[in-house]
């Protein structure tokens, strides 16, 4: 038996299949019909075809999970949404030029060379790209140098124009990193759902935690909560299934 599903991500499509057919992930094979990749920033829905073994329709597991009831109990999750829909501001070219120059000067004082340019703008956000031969140092371990540059660039930009938010990237690190976070989150969610045991993800900043909460929001059978203090909290993935 085969059925086709469509979702924002491969995982999303698989989850829809699990929910619609009341089966476990182990009971079917997934064939990807369309991976939805339309270049770096454009993504279409992922289409999958689900192949189900005909002998796996035993009734005992037919409803293993309660559908998610949309109550996501997380403080930093609630105010995560309002950043989405906003008008694009007029580009502030003076600011952009000054911030790019500030970054390049800073990098040059660090002993490296770089060229910073504006790659895109959205809403309040100005995305900057640092091109450098030493990009691995600019990014740093787990992106910590890139984050530090971004913090300083934002303080500097705030002196000129308080409306803008500067995002600094190099070699597509942020996108790669985000995909990695979401992948790890899904993998953990699947494990939690299978074992019923909660798992703690590594410490993340508010933006990264938001990615996890949003990504796991449509996964049934689990919920997410942030734990800890300060900027870097940890997300705990908890099973909603009752354990006996």
Strand pairing class (165-169; 125-131)? parallel
Does 110 bind another protein (CB under 8 A)? Our answer is yes
Does 207 bind another protein (CB under 8 A)? Our answer is no
User: Which CB atom, from 174 or from 193, has the smaller least distance to another protein?
Assistant: 174
Does 66 bind another protein (CB under 8 A)? Our answer is no
Written as six digits, the tokens of 212 are 């996890």
List 26, 41, 231, 243, residue binding another protein (CB under 8 A): 231
Does 38 bind another protein (CB under 8 A)? Our answer is no
Q: What is d(CA 48, CA 44) in angstroms, rounded to the nearest whole number?
A: 13
Cα dist from 187 to 22, 34, 57, 194, 197, whole Å: 20, 21, 25, 11, 14
List 230, 242, 243, 244, residue binding another protein (CB under 8 A): 230
Does 147 bind another protein (CB under 8 A)? Our answer is yes
Written as six digits, the tokens of 78 are 């609630």
Asked if 126 and 164 count as a contact pair (C-beta separation under 8 A), the reply is: yes
Q: What is d(CA 154, CA 103) in angstroms, rounded to the nearest whole number?
A: 11
Stretch of 53-61, 66-74, 155-163, 183-191 lying at the interface with another protein (CB under 8 A): 155-163
Instruction: Give the residues lining the site for another protein (CB under 8 A).
Output: 102, 105-106, 109-112, 137, 140, 144-145, 147-149, 151-152, 155-156, 159, 230-231
């Amino acid at each position: 038996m085969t059925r086709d599903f469509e979702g924002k991500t491969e995982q999303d499509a698989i989850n829809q299949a699990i929910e619609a057919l009341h089966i476990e992930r182990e009971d079917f094979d997934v064939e990807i019909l369309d991976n939805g990749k339309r270049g770096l920033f454009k993504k279409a829905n992922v289409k999958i075809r689900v192949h189900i073994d005909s002998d796996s329709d035993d009734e005992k597991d037919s409803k293993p999970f309660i559908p998610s009831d949309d109550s996501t109990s997380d403080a930093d999750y609630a105010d995560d949404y309002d950043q989405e829909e906003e008008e694009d501001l007029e580009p502030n070219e003076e600011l952009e030029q000054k911030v790019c120059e500030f970054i390049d000067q800073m990098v040059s004082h660090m002993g490296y060379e770089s060229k910073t340019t504006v790659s895109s703008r959205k809403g309040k956000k100005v995305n900057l790209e640092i091109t450098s031969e030493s990009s691995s140092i600019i990014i740093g371990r787990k992106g910590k140098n890139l984050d530090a540059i971004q913090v300083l660039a934002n303080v500097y930009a705030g002196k000129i124009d308080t409306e803008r938010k500067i995002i600094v990237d190099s070699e597509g690190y942020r996108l790669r990193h985000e995909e990695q976070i979401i992948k790890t989150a899904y993998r953990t969610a699947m494990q939690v759902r299978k074992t019923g045991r909660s798992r703690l993800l590594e410490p993340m900043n508010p933006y990264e935690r938001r990615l996890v909460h949003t990504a796991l929001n449509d996964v049934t059978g689990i919920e997410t909560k942030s734990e800890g203090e300060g900027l870097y909290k940890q997300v705990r993935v908890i099973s909603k299934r009752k354990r006996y």
